Amino acid sequence: MYNLLKGKKGIIFGALDSKSIAWKVAERAHEEGAKIVLTNAPVALRLGTISELAEQTGSQVIPADATSIMDLEHLVDESMKLLGGKIDFVLHSIGMSVNVRRGNHYTHQDYNFTKKGWDVSALSFHRLMSVLYQRDAMNEWGSIVALTYMAAQRVFPDYNDMADNKAYLESVARSFGYFFSRDKKVRVNTISQSPTPTTAGSGVKGFDGFIAYAEKMSPLGNATALECADYTLSLFSDLTKKVTLQNLFHDGGFSNMGVSTAVMDAFMETENPEEPVKEEKKK
């Protein structure tokens, strides 16, 4: 361990169970010397196993539904009391689409579900930053990170309305990030993570095929939840003070690939399974 976050205080949203990316971030932040408050929606506290994480990291859990401004205000006020002052880092690790859950195709959305998913997954980031900004709750050179996915830029058909939610989330990171950086010297960034086998990730239709494809396309392979936690910590640390308003790809190189030899090979095999690829053909 490097004591990267020694003396720092943070709030971590979204640890549901040990597969959650936020769970790994909380474990690593604790190992690196931070004091943290954990939070999740009241229903997730009942269904998940967050109390184990709280015990393991010596932290308190404060319930907050990210769609409720009152819950967020209470969370921020109580966190400052518990942690003994202003906050140094915040992780927004929240995502949910009712259309995905109900199996509604992108072309046949229930717009009430669309609004709900947007409220939880995207507008919640604006709401959270608004509470932190208005309460002047962040220390100078603090850091706010939200997790996102590349479907914000490119088409992944089964990612459904979450693609639009992530595009909005990334835009909010830039727009609010400008004011947070200018007025409070606080960084705001999004990390665009590889597909990862968690509860939210596995909810996407055809996830197994999707993750296997990304693995074959990425020269370094998919990034794991733990690797994402390590990268997140670097953004919480003092080593990245001037990184702000960025959408940072953490995906083993996937986002800059056109095609990989591994994917090409898979197609050659499908096209002509009997015939081995000849040397001349390869050239």
21 binds ligand NAD, rule: CB under 6 A: yes
Segment lying near ligand NAD (by CB under 6 A), choices 77-85, 101-109, 197-205, 269-277: 197-205
What is the total count of residues that contact ligand NAD (CB under 6 A)? 27
The single residue among 99, 143, 196, 218 that binds ligand NAD, judged by CB under 6 A, is 196
Please, what is the minimum distance in Å from the beta carbon of residue 98 to ligand NAD? 10
Q: Who contacts 213 (Cβ-Cβ below 8 Å, separation ≥6)? A: 263
94 binds ligand NAD, rule: CB under 6 A: yes
118 binds ligand NAD, rule: CB under 6 A: no
117 binds ligand NAD, rule: CB under 6 A: no
Residue 101 contacts residue 42 (beta carbons within 8 Å): no
**Residue (44 or 186) nearer to ligand NAD, CB:** 44
Please, what is the minimum distance in Å from the beta carbon of residue 96 to ligand NAD? 4
Tokens 């474990």 appear where? 27
Residue whose C-alpha is closest to residue 219's, from 252, 261, 248: 252
CA distance 262 to 207: 19
222 binds ligand NAD, rule: CB under 6 A: no
**Residue (42 or 276) nearer to ligand NAD, CB:** 42
Which residue's beta carbon is nearest to the bound ligand NAD? 201
Q: Which residues of 235-274 are buried (b: 16+ CB within 10 A; e: fewer)?
A: bbbeebeeebbbbbbbbbebbeeeebeeeeeeebeeeeee
* Residue 192 φ/ψ, nearest 5 degrees: -100, 105
Residue 151 contacts residue 166 (beta carbons within 8 Å): yes
First to last CA, the chain: 47
232 binds ligand NAD, rule: CB under 6 A: no
Please, what is the minimum distance in Å from the beta carbon of residue 233 to ligand NAD? 15
Please, what is the minimum distance in Å from the beta carbon of residue 142 to ligand NAD? 20
163 binds ligand NAD, rule: CB under 6 A: no
41 binds ligand NAD, rule: CB under 6 A: yes
Which segments of 106-154 are extended strands (E)?
138-148
Please compute, for residue 75, the number of CA atoms within 13 A of its CA located in the half-sphere on the CB side.
Answer: 29
**Residue (115 or 184) nearer to ligand NAD, CB:** 115
**Residue (67 or 153) nearer to ligand NAD, CB:** 67
- Cα 254 to its chain centre, rounded Å, is 17
Which segments of 42-137 are extended strands (E)?
60-61, 87-92
Please, what is the minimum distance in Å from the beta carbon of residue 203 to ligand NAD? 8
| Interaction site with ligand NAD (CB under 6 A) | 13-14, 16, 20-22, 40-41, 44, 65-67, 93-96, 120, 147-149, 193, 195-196, 198-201
